[in-house]
Amino acid sequence: MTYIGSDSQTHASFDQATWEAYERAKEEERARKQAQAMLDKLSYKTVLDSATDDQALEMRPLYPEWQTGIEYTKGTFLQYDSILYRVLQDHKSQADWTPDKAVSLYVNVADPQDAYPPFKKPTGAHDAYSKGYGITFEEKHYRSKIDGNVYSPAESPDSWELVE
């Protein structure tokens, strides 16, 4: 607080209660900002972690790039070579277990805009092709004739319909 003294000069006086109130308000504001930052971070993570495949595709740029030495949990989304993958089982990543090679650990979340994504050999029921699903195999387009299709058109031609 300032005041003009009898000598016509400006003087300052210290008020302990005013100073303590100022410091409390400053600390409360810092705590609010810190809490909001934590909420934003948790909300962001919750949205990314609970997304469906279609939602994750729309948010693909927000997902981290695959790295070695990371503990990945089932259902986590990540990018590798600009392709979105979903983790199929908990594991610690290794240099020789890249998402494009370790099909038991990762599944490519195909872009629904691409009616004929490249054929990827399924490893089981969790990533088998459904009836009507389109693929590209040896530069030709095919649609699965059956549900649970785990074979390529070369392995089981009767399971696939060539699309002209």
Q: Does residue 105 contact residue 89 with C-beta atoms inside 8 Å?
A: yes
Task: For CA atoms 28, 29, 30, 32, give the dihedral sign.
Answer: positive
Assigned CATH for 114-164: 2.10.10.20
User: Does 64-110 match 114-164 in CATH topology?
Assistant: yes
| CATH placement of domain 64-110 | 2.10.10.90
**What pTM was estimated for this model as a whole?**
0.54
**Contact of 76 with 82, CB cutoff 8 Å:** no
Please say whether the beta carbons of 141 and 156 come within 8 A.
Answer: no
Residues 60, 41, 82: CA angle, nearest 5 degrees: 15
Q: Where are the domains of the chain?
A: 2-49, 64-110, 114-164
Of the candidate ranges 42-56, 82-96, 111-125, the one whose mean pLDDT is the lowest: 111-125
Structure tokens at 27: 């600390």
Q: pLDDT by residue (tens digit) across 79-89?
A: 999 899 989 88
